[in-house]
Amino acid sequence: MSYRFGEHTADIRLEITAESFQEIFIEAVRAMNAVMKPAVSDGTVEREVTIEASDRLSLLVDFLNELLSLAGLHHEAYETLEIGNIGETHVDAFVKGRKTRGMEAEIKAVTWHEASLFETGEGTWRATLVLDI
């Protein structure tokens, strides 16, 4: 009896640079949509999403994972994000998108592996996220 570990390339490392904390969320949604490459149908959708978390990084990861859950449950792809209210531990947002007939690639989760979020000294924000595909 034995076992071994093999290489597995089922992750995508995503690095985002934006001019604000709010824009990190917007760019992350755009990037996830680019990875999934949904086959969209004619039906449009709008959803309100509210998330509470303990800190900014948790807020980002939890928010994106909530969108993945909603997208999978309702067969939707979200193309645009409008943030109504955002703080260090709370976000209220509206996502707009379309019904899907499937995705070219499924993102299972936004993981905590290598996750980071910080404001640079140059007035920009940077986030690193790993997508489990």
Residue 5 lies in a domain: no
Total domains present in the chain: 1
Residue 52 lies in a domain: yes
Q: Which positions ≥6 away from 106 have C-beta within 8 Å?
A: 36, 72, 133
Q: Sign of the CA dihedral 34, 38, 43, 48? A: negative
| Count of positions (residues) in the chain | 133
Residue 8 lies in a domain: no
Query: 60: burial class by Cβ within 10 Å (0-12, 13-18, 19+)?
Result: buried
* pLDDT tens sequence for the chain (133 residues): 645 555 556 888 999 999 999 999 999 999 999 999 988 888 899 999 999 999 999 999 999 999 999 999 999 999 999 999 999 999 999 999 999 998 888 999 999 999 999 999 888 999 999 999 8
Q: Can you give 92-130 as a three-state secondary structure string?
A: EEEEEEEEEEEECCCCCEEEEEEEEEEECCCCCEEEEEE
Residue 11 lies in a domain: no
- The helix (run of H) or strand (run of E) holding residue 77 is strand 76-86
The parent domain of residue 72 ranges over 26-132
Residue 85 lies in a domain: yes
Q: How much is the pTM?
A: 0.91
CATH number for position 121: 3.55.10.10
Residue 49 lies in a domain: yes
- The helix (run of H) or strand (run of E) holding residue 25 is helix 21-36
Residue 112 lies in a domain: yes
Residue 7 lies in a domain: no
